[in-house]
């Protein structure tokens, strides 16, 4: 039976307008006012905004860091995602040292296939570059994996500048796009060693081990090397004014530079590391939480249209049994925050409801721009005829409090604990099926793999 979502206001990056949305066979069949309801199941969206399903293009589910695995796997993480309004995630299939990209892709399919409650895709993280891996890039694109990930920090993951240049050129030949973790790994190692030698071992010293210039230097270097390779680039989890300024300089030179930031850098700040006892460990992520000045710079960039997407970098570890592995040494605290469930509410509350951004910018940054950047548009990211019926009916009048007690993330805390949220996903449809309602799951296991085309922003 067809579904008709009635009486809502459809949100696009350009405008918000009153319209009904007709869904047939999992696709959007019509969008317009006063559509006939004959033969349709109906859903009343009166008083609500109707967003395209939100896309989280930066998640780490079922990830083993060599010491412990993330608290959320694809079953728990995607269930939490859809409860919050996210209908597609893009996770990171990560090549093992000495391994192949094909083996990494196979491993991540085993983690996700048949277990996911929202749709999913993969970036391919390259950690071991050689001629054989270069040959595999084209095969990844054919398999629908058209975006790649590189690290400039973490000794077990990062590539050299020479490798970075070669990878950028090879992926560029395939019209793939590379997102890069921009921190100067050598400087991070030196700062960590200095702090440990001085006996500064508590969670509050995580942020000083990764100051803003560590990000800014890596952003500048990445952009210059990308300019030499002649390809566009994507910078993930931008967190500082200094890093933003380097990206602006690259854009002023005529480079295509796409920027992602995360809710934690827009809502939280570095004062969280000063929490009593070991509580500051909850907020240990990389890049770390920053200053209020950095936060203000990112909001300004959002208002100006300089940020292209907001994803989570969801990487959940329990405080008890996982983060406390670093109780006596901040450098051993597993890095990462949970956020896959609360991103839409956090962004709407701190952004739209607070007047820092419009609902149309939210549709762009959480849906359409991400879909275009990663080769999913118009199947994903838009409420348009022919696209997947991934639809979020958003109630702007909802008032609730974010709490670990009521979340579906498989984690013993949320960094947004106690946040008075404004707005909530009243209903979440995945390819036309009601997957969640009022923050609770309705139907699990609906997710399928999304094979993607090349970036529209190339």
Separation of alpha carbons 342 and 37, rounded Å: 33
Yes or no: say if 53 and 432 are a contact pair by the CB < 8 Å rule. Answer: no
User: Does one domain contain both 203 and 61?
Assistant: yes
User: Does one domain contain both 14 and 85?
Assistant: no
Count the neighbouring beta carbons within 10 Å of the beta carbon of residue 433. 14
User: Does one domain contain both 40 and 58?
Assistant: no
User: Does one domain contain both 270 and 392?
Assistant: no
**Does residue 407 sit within a domain?**
no
Confidence of residue 1 (pLDDT cuts 50, 70, 90): confident
Cα torsion 415, 418, 424, 425: sign: positive
Separation of alpha carbons 384 and 388, rounded Å: 9
User: Does one domain contain both 295 and 182?
Assistant: yes
**Does residue 305 sit within a domain?**
yes
Q: Give the CATH number, domain containing residue 191.
A: 3.20.20.140
Confidence of residue 288 (pLDDT cuts 50, 70, 90): very high
Identify the DSSP state of 288: P
Q: Give the CATH number, domain containing residue 425.
A: 2.30.40.10
| Average predicted confidence (pLDDT) for the chain | 98
Domain assignment of residue 34, given as a range: 2-50+382-397+419-441
User: Does one domain contain both 425 and 323?
Assistant: no
Identify the DSSP state of 348: I
In this prediction, what percent of the chain has a pLDDT beyond 90?
Answer: 99
**Does residue 349 sit within a domain?**
yes
**Does residue 453 sit within a domain?**
no
Interval 375-396: pLDDT, tens: 999 999 999 999 999 999 999 9
**Does residue 242 sit within a domain?**
yes
Number of structural domains (the chain) is 2
pTM of the model: 0.98
| Mean pLDDT of the region 248-259 | 98
User: Does one domain contain both 281 and 423?
Assistant: no
Identify the DSSP state of 216: H
Count the neighbouring beta carbons within 10 Å of the beta carbon of residue 369. 26
**Does residue 412 sit within a domain?**
no
| Mean pLDDT of the region 216-223 | 98
Separation of alpha carbons 89 and 449, rounded Å: 10
**Does residue 447 sit within a domain?**
no
Confidence of residue 205 (pLDDT cuts 50, 70, 90): very high
User: Does one domain contain both 229 and 366?
Assistant: yes
In this prediction, what percent of the chain has a pLDDT beyond 70?
Answer: 100
**Does residue 334 sit within a domain?**
yes
User: Does one domain contain both 328 and 435?
Assistant: no
| Mean pLDDT of the region 410-437 | 98
User: Does one domain contain both 133 and 261?
Assistant: yes
Query: Residues 6 or more apart from 286 whose CB is under 8 A from it?
Result: 153, 183, 210, 335
Confidence of residue 113 (pLDDT cuts 50, 70, 90): very high
Yes or no: say if 263 and 310 are a contact pair by the CB < 8 Å rule. Answer: yes
Separation of alpha carbons 373 and 145, rounded Å: 13
User: Does one domain contain both 107 and 22?
Assistant: no
Residue 458 has what pLDDT? 80
User: Does one domain contain both 253 and 349?
Assistant: yes
Separation of alpha carbons 222 and 234, rounded Å: 10
Residue 301 has what pLDDT? 98
| Mean pLDDT of the region 121-136 | 98
DSSP 3-state of 16: strand
Q: List the beta strands (DSSP E) in 192-334.
A: 233-235, 257-261, 309-310
């Amino acid at each position: 039976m067809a579904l008709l979502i009635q009486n809502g206001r459809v949100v696009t990056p350009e405008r918000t307008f009153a319209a009904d949305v007709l869904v047939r066979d999992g696709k959007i069949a019509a969008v317009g006012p006063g559509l006939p309801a004959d033969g349709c199941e109906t859903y009343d969206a009166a008083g609500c905004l109707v967003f395209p399903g939100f896309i989280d293009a930066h998640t780490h589910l079922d990830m083993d860091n060599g010491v412990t695995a993330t608290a959320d796997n694809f079953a728990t993480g995607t269930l939490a995602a859809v409860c919050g309004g996210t209908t597609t995630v893009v996770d990171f299939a990560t090549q093992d040292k000495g391994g192949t990209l094909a083996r990494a892709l196979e491993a991540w399919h085993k983690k996700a296939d048949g277990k996911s409650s929202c749709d999913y895709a993969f970036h391919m993280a390259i950690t071991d570059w050689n001629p054989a891996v270069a040959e595999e890039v084209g095969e990844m694109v054919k398999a629908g994996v058209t975006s790649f990930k590189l690290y400039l920090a973490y000794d077990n993951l990062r590539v050299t500048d020479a490798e970075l240049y070669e990878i950028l050129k090879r992926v560029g030949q395939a019209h793939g796009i590379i997102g890069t973790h921009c921190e100067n790994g050598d400087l991070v190692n030196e700062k960590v060693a200095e702090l440990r030698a001085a006996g500064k071992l508590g969670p509050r010293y995580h942020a000083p081990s990764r100051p803003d210039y560590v990000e800014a230097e890596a952003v500048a270097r990445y952009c210059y090397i990308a300019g030499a390779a002649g390809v566009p680039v994507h910078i993930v989890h931008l967190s500082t004014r200094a890093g933003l300024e380097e990206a602006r300089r690259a854009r002023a030179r005529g480079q295509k530079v796409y920027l992602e930031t995360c809710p934690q850098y827009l809502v939280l700040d570095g004062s969280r590391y000063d929490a009593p006892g070991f509580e500051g460990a909850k907020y240990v992520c990389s890049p770390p939480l920053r200053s209020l000045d950095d936060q203000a710079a990112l909001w300004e960039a959002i208002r100006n249209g300089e940020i292209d997407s907001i994803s989570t970098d969801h990487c959940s570890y329990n405080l008890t049994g996982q983060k406390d592995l670093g109780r006596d040494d901040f450098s051993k605290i597993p890095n990462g925050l949970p956020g896959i469930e609360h991103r839409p509410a956090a962004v709407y509350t701190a952004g739209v409801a607070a007047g820092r951004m419009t609902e149309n910018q939210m549709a762009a940054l959480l849906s359409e721009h991400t879909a275009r950047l990663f080769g999913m548009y118009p199947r994903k990211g838009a409420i348009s005829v022919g696209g997947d019926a991934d639809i979020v009916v958003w109630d702007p009048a909802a008032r609730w409090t974010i709490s670990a007690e009521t979340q579906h993330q498989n984690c013993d805390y949320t960094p947004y604990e106690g946040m008075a949220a404004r707005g909530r996903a009243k209903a979440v449809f995945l390819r036309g099926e009601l997957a969640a309602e009022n923050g609770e799951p309705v139907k699990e296991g609906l997710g399928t793999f999304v094979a993607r085309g090349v970036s529209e922003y190339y």
